[in-house]
């Protein structure tokens, strides 16, 4: 695509690298306040399910410093939601999750907010909640219909299989734990206009929801996102709530209004990664070749749809992961519970589908007493044959077999597997486990129309260039990549190109920066704009009959009245996906990888250590290898947190207990694998911008190797039974399994 590659492919520093370290980078909470600015907060339901019998705000309104209080009656419309608009911002008569806002508070200061909350008389009658997937299934409480992807006849193939295993795989959720909580700052403008500064992955959705709920036009709302202090999917749909609350205050009081959730509140009230509970049956030959797989996925969607149906769709299209399964049936059902609506989280259902499959492969190997890597390689998608997914998309440019073999050699899998067996045979105090797992992650939004982007490129008279796209910067470096792409396309020094704040005023009807596709889509649109400008400039240069410097060329073009600005557009080609048949091509390509992890477990305490992890990815030709390395390592570590220590614990009434870093354990530097290597193969991806592949989410799934390594280790002491465990494999979970095996062993002896 790009002919000149001067910056693309190099380690240009992140455009905020310096600012993040010096503290110069501004977040919503850092912006200086204007005179008259109000603090916005909200009173939220303390119950998972409750009838609102009455709201008496008389006393609260009298609290000094309280400026205004709002209920659903103050909104023009009350429904929001990224797919279906089923969620009231402020409930009318029933609260359906703990943390749901009931009253919005505008006050002069934080003390007045606290006093107002004390003075409110909100009469709630607690109702019985649905808090688990089991409860929801029993009550038939679902969001939407059960969906299917089927190929062949799984039931018949299971009946004919040499061996059949069945089980239930259970995973917990995950808090996004972005360092910057949900936040918005709204300035009232003239003629009912609003300027909304939002920490969001999706400025257009914030614009749309603010306009709709306040009863104004989208054209009256400008949403700007300078950057986020992390998002991880948590700001794909749920940044709307704080933005609307602040906008409501700004519009009615005509004063600037700011809301910034504190960490505990954020953890209590926002949705998480989906917990899943998946029942499976798998049929296979005596050599471990899978002939049939039937898996029934259930997710905890929480109280409203949010993105849950799309998350389930991604779980379903990732349920077979890297493995060819001739006869397969995948069912997906989203449960409606009284939890905060669960939402996008890096991987978006992919990790849950893939972990279920990798769990199954681990079990087949244990059952057949074969090496798990041999079983995986025997089932891996082929290059020429055995290469169509259950939804009939052909896996093109399949590097999985190569990634398996190369990582096996690079990390000395065979020698270490033998060493692990020898260690476990002699150690009375510790256990080791080893697993090499794969990921095949489909790149594109699984909703076709979201796969589009536009970009605005302006060349100024001095030769400097501004680029604006719908991409939002959350630390992942998308702005830097776009800058590199545009500089190369225009053939100008990088220093001449700046990427501007993301604003709905510059780029309309944008998609969320999500699905790992921020650089693919917005980079594609920016290249389109830059290419057309450059073509016009080349024409001007041709007329000169000699090479002309960029700066001079800009002046000549201007004098000849050649336009020096352009709007670019990109729509992902080839996509074709139909839910009614469960067939088609939902993805432009797949990002692939393998990860191998070795763990050490203390048999008396259950304490888990990751001794070594090696990851090998196919990420195409990176636009910025340094930034991609950061993404790969960050994703792996975040995945490691999900599969090991990040445990969301609730009271029987649905109150989140682990709502702060004291009780919710994300990985820190000491938890990193003692030996850790991250590599990728050289592999062009000509179908995508700059030959690159998306990297944001896929590597998170290579951390599933850690969980599988724990399962592998436990298999050495499970007395011939399959070692079954929940995800996350916390020290506590591991200790409970060890205790159970010890008891069962004693009973047998
Ligand atoms: N968001 C979305 C996503 O709306 N559709 C997707 O397929 C997706 N995938 C990953 C992350 N966010
Ligand atoms: Mo997402 S999970 O916001 O790509």
Q: How far is the CA of 237 from the centre of ligand 1 (A)?
A: 11
In the block, residue with structure tokens 């954020």:
266
**647: alpha, beta or left? (left if phi > 0; alpha if psi -120 to 50):** beta
Q: What is the pLDDT of residues 577-601, one digit of tens each?
A: 988 889 999 999 999 999 999 999 9
Measured from the CB, is residue 541 less than 6 Å from ligand 2?
A: no
Q: How far is CA 47 from the centre of its chain?
A: 28
- From atom 7 of ligand 1, which residue's Cα is the shortest distance away? 445
pLDDT at residue number 244: 98
Q: How far is the CA of 516 from the centre of ligand 2 (A)?
A: 7
Res. 635: pLDDT tops 60: yes
Res. 6: pLDDT tops 70: yes
pLDDT at residue number 746: 76
Q: How far is the CA of 345 from the centre of ligand 2 (A)?
A: 5
Res. 408: pLDDT tops 60: yes
Ligand 2 atom having least distance to the Cα of 517: 4
Strand partners, 431: 601
Measured from the CB, is residue 226 less than 6 Å from ligand 2?
A: no
Q: How far is residue 539 from each of residues 289, 464, 542, 560, measured CA to CA in Å? A: 60, 20, 5, 11
Closest CA relative to residue 372, chosen from 598, 592, 593, 644 = 598
Closest CA relative to residue 271, chosen from 235, 321, 296, 298 = 235
Measured from the CB, is residue 344 less than 6 Å from ligand 2?
A: yes
Measured from the CB, is residue 514 less than 6 Å from ligand 2?
A: yes
Q: What is the pTM of this model?
A: 0.98
* Residue to probe by mutation, ligand 2, list 202, 228, 234, 344, most atoms within 8 Å of CB: 344
Q: How far is the CA of 434 from the centre of ligand 2 (A)?
A: 30
Measured from the CB, is residue 635 less than 6 Å from ligand 2?
A: no
Ligand 1 atom having least distance to the Cα of 445: 7
Helix (H, G, I), strand (E, B) or coil at 453: strand
pLDDT at residue number 4: 78
Q: How far is the CA of 492 from the centre of ligand 1 (A)?
A: 34
Q: How far is the CA of 61 from the centre of ligand 2 (A)?
A: 40
Ligand 2 atom having least distance to the Cα of 201: 3
Q: How far is residue 50 from each of residues 54, 130, 133, 135, measured CA to CA in Å? A: 12, 12, 20, 17
Q: How many Å apart are CA 31 and CA 524, to the nearest integer?
A: 32
Tokens of 244: 């609307």
Measured from the CB, is residue 656 less than 6 Å from ligand 2?
A: no
Q: How many Å apart are CA 322 and CA 400, to the nearest integer?
A: 7
Ligand 2 atom having least distance to the Cα of 346: 2
Q: How many Å apart are CA 200 and CA 204, to the nearest integer?
A: 9
Tokens of 218: 């989208």
Ligand 2 atom having least distance to the Cα of 512: 3
pLDDT at residue number 749: 58
In the block, residue with structure tokens 């991604």:
314
Q: How far is the CA of 157 from the centre of ligand 1 (A)?
A: 32
Q: How many Å apart are CA 210 and CA 218, to the nearest integer?
A: 8
Q: How many Å apart are CA 133 and CA 136, to the nearest integer?
A: 5
Q: What is the pLDDT of residues 33-59, one digit of tens each?
A: 999 999 999 999 999 999 999 999 999
Say whether the peptide bond before residue 728 is cis (omega within 30 degrees of 0).
Answer: yes
The whole-number average pLDDT for the span 184-196 is: 96
- From atom 3 of ligand 1, which residue's Cα is the shortest distance away? 515
Q: Count the alpha carbons within 13 Å of 79 in the hemisphere toward its beta carbon.
A: 6
Tokens of 642: 């999900």
**Beta-strand (E) ranges in 58-182?**
66-70, 79-80, 87-88, 94-95, 101-107, 121-126, 142-151, 163-171
pLDDT band at 723 (very low <50, low <70, confident <90, very high): very high
Ligand 1 atom having least distance to the Cα of 313: 7
Measured from the CB, is residue 307 less than 6 Å from ligand 2?
A: no
The whole-number average pLDDT for the span 616-645 is: 98
Res. 11: pLDDT tops 70: yes
In the block, residue with structure tokens 């944001």:
696
- From atom 4 of ligand 2, which residue's Cα is the shortest distance away? 514
- From atom 6 of ligand 1, which residue's Cα is the shortest distance away? 445
Closest CA relative to residue 197, chosen from 162, 226, 217, 156 = 226
Tokens of 23: 């503290």
Q: How far is the CA of 514 from the centre of ligand 1 (A)?
A: 6
Residue 202 neighbours by CB under 8 Å, 6+ apart: 82, 235, 236, 237, 239, 472, 510, 511, 512, 513, 514
* Mean pLDDT (the chain, rounded): 97
String of b and e for 705-735 (b: at least 16 CB within 10 Å)? bbbbbbbbbbbbbbeeebbbbebbbbbebbb
Ligand 2 atom having least distance to the Cα of 347: 2
Closest CA relative to residue 509, chosen from 565, 559, 453, 428 = 453
Q: What is the pLDDT of residues 507-533, one digit of tens each?
A: 999 999 999 999 999 999 999 999 999
Q: Which ligand is nearest to the CA of 441?
A: 1
Q: How many Å apart are CA 523 and CA 443, to the nearest integer?
A: 15
Q: Which ligand is nearest to the CA of 577?
A: 1
Residue 152 neighbours by CB under 8 Å, 6+ apart: 292, 326, 327, 328
Tokens of 626: 């340094």
In the block, residue with structure tokens 């290898």:
625
Q: What is the pLDDT of residues 64-79, one digit of tens each?
A: 999 999 999 999 999 9
Q: How many Å apart are CA 37 and CA 676, to the nearest integer?
A: 48
Strand partners, 66: 107
Measured from the CB, is residue 236 less than 6 Å from ligand 2?
A: yes
Catalytic site residues? 697
Q: How far is the CA of 513 from the centre of ligand 2 (A)?
A: 7
Tokens of 735: 């200790």
**How would DSSP label each residue in 272-307?**
-BPPEEEEEEEEE-TT--EEEEEEEEEEE--SS-TT
What lines the ligand 1 site, CB under 6 Å? Answer: 307, 310, 314, 344, 348, 445-447, 450, 514-515
H-state helical runs in 68-220: 110-119, 133-138, 154-160, 203-214
Q: Which ligand is nearest to the CA of 231?
A: 2
Measured from the CB, is residue 284 less than 6 Å from ligand 2?
A: no
Q: How far is the CA of 445 from the centre of ligand 2 (A)?
A: 10
Taking only Cα atoms into account, the Rg of the chain, rounded to an integer number of angstroms, comes to: 27
Measured from the CB, is residue 346 less than 6 Å from ligand 2?
A: yes
* Residue to probe by mutation, ligand 1, list 318, 343, 345, 445, most atoms within 8 Å of CB: 445
* Residue to probe by mutation, ligand 2, list 82, 205, 233, most atoms within 8 Å of CB: 233
pLDDT band at 2 (very low <50, low <70, confident <90, very high): very low
pLDDT at residue number 748: 63
Q: How far is the CA of 157 from the centre of ligand 2 (A)?
A: 36
Ligand 2 atom having least distance to the Cα of 235: 3
Higher pLDDT, 4 or 339: 339
Q: Which ligand is nearest to the CA of 272?
A: 2
What single-letter DSSP state applies at residue 109? S
Kindly report the backbone phi and psi dihedral angles of residue 566, in degrees, each rounded to the nearest multiple of 5, phi listed first: -155, 150
Ligand 2 atom having least distance to the Cα of 233: 3
Q: How far is residue 374 from each of residues 287, 361, 413, 559, measured CA to CA in Å? A: 9, 10, 11, 68
The whole-number average pLDDT for the span 453-468 is: 98
Q: What is the pLDDT of residues 668-686, one digit of tens each?
A: 999 999 999 999 999 999 9
Q: Which ligand is nearest to the CA of 234?
A: 2
Ligand 2 atom having least distance to the Cα of 514: 4
Measured from the CB, is residue 201 less than 6 Å from ligand 2?
A: yes
Closest CA relative to residue 681, chosen from 394, 405, 382, 322 = 405
Q: What is the pLDDT of residues 285-316, one digit of tens each?
A: 999 999 999 999 999 999 999 999 999 999 99
Q: What is the pLDDT of residues 559-572, one digit of tens each?
A: 999 999 999 999 99
Q: How far is the CA of 443 from the centre of ligand 1 (A)?
A: 9
Measured from the CB, is residue 233 less than 6 Å from ligand 2?
A: yes
Q: How many Å apart are CA 682 and CA 719, to the nearest integer?
A: 44
- From atom 11 of ligand 1, which residue's Cα is the shortest distance away? 515
Say whether the peptide bond before residue 652 is cis (omega within 30 degrees of 0).
Answer: no
């Amino acid at each position: 695509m790009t002919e000149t590659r001067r910056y693309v492919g190099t380690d240009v520093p992140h455009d905020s690298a310096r600012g993040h370290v010096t503290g110069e980078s501004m977040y919503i909470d850092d912006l200086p306040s204007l005179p008259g600015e109000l603090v916005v907060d909200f009173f939220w339901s303390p119950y998972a399910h409750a009838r609102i019998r009455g709201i008496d705000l008389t006393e609260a309104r009298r609290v000094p410093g309280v400026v205004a209080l709002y209920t659903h009656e103050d909104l023009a419309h009350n429904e929001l939601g990224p797919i279906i608009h089923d969620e009231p911002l402020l409930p009318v008569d029933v609260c359906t999750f703990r943390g749901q806002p009931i009253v919005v508070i505008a006050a002069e200061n934080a003390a007045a907010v606290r006093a107002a909350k004390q003075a409110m008389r909100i009469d709630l009658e607690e109702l019985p909640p649905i808090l688990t997937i089991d409860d929801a299934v029993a009550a038939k409480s679902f969001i939407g219909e059960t969906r299917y992807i089927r190929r062949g006849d799984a039931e018949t193939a299971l009946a004919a299989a040499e061996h059949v295993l069945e089980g239930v795989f259970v995973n917990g959720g995950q808090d996004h734990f972005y360092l910057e909580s949900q936040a918005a700052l709204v300035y009232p403008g003239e003629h009912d206009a609003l300027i909304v500064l939002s920490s969001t992955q999706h400025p257009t959705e914030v614009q749309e929801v603010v306009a709709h709920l306040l009863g104004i036009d989208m054209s009256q709302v400008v949403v700007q996102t300078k950057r986020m202090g992390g998002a991880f999917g948590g700001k794909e749909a749920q940044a709307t709530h704080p933005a609307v609350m602040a906008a409501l205050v700004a519009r009615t009081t005509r004063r600037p209004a700011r809301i910034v959730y504190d960490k505990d509140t954020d953890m209590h009230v926002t949705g998480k990664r989906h917990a899943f509970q998946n029942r499976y049956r798998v049929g296979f030959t005596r050599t471990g070749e899978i002939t049939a797989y039937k898996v029934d996925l259930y997710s905890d969607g929480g109280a409203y749809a949010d993105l849950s149906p799309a998350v389930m769709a991604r779980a379903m299209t990732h349920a077979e992961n890297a493995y060819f399964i001739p006869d397969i049936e995948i069912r997906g059902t989203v449960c409606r519970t009284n939890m905060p609506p669960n939402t996008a989280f890096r991987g978006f259902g992919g990790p849950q589908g893939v972990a279920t499959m990798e769990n199954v492969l681990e079990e087949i190997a244990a059952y057949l007493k074969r090496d798990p890597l041999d079983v995986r390689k025997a089932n891996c998608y082929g290059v020429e044959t055995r290469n169509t997914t259950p939804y009939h998309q052909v896996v093109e440019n399949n590097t999985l077999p190569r990634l398996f073999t190369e990582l096996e050699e690079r990390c000395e899998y065979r020698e270490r597997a033998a060493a692990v067996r020898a260690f476990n045979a002699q150690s009375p105090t510790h256990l080791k486990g080893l697993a090499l797992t794969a990921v095949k992650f489909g790149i594109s939004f699984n909703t076709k129309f979201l796969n589009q982007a536009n970009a605005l490129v302006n060349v100024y008279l001095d030769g400097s260039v501004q680029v604006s796209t719908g991409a939002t910067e959350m630390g992942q470096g998308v702005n830097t990549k776009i800058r590199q792409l545009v500089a190369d396309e225009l053939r100008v020094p990088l220093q001449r190109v700046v990427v501007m704040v993301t604003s709905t005023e510059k780029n309309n009807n944008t998609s969320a920066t999500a699905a790992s596709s921020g650089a693919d889509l917005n980079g594609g649109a920016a290249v389109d704009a830059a290419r057309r400008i450059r073509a016009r400039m080349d024409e001007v240069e041709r007329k000169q009959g000699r090479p002309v410097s960029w700066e001079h060329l800009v002046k000549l073009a201007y004098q000849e009245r050649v336009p020096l600005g352009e709007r670019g557009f990109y729509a992902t080609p080839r996509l074709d996906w139909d839910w009614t048949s469960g067939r088609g091509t939902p993805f432009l390509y797949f990002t692939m990888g393998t990860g191998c992890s070795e763990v050490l477990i203390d048999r008396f305490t259950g304490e888990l250590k990751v001794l070594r992890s090696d990851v090998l990815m196919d990420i195409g030709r990176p636009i910025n290898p340094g930034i991609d390395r950061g993404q790969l390592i960050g994703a792996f570590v975040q995945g490691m947190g999900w599969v090991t220590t990040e445990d969301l614990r609730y009271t029987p009434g649905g109150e989140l207990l682990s709502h702060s870093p004291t009780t919710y354990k994300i990985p820190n530097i000491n938890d990193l694998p003692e030996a850790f290597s991250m590599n990728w193969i050289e592999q062009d991806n000509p179908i995508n911008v700059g030959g690159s592949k998306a990297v944001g989410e896929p590597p998170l799934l290579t951390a599933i190797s850690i969980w599988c390594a724990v399962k592998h280790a436990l298999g050495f002491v499970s007395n011939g039974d399959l070692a079954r465990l929940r995800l996350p494999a916390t020290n506590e979970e591991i200790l409970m399994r060890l205790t159970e095996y010890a008891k069962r062993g004693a009973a047998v002896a």
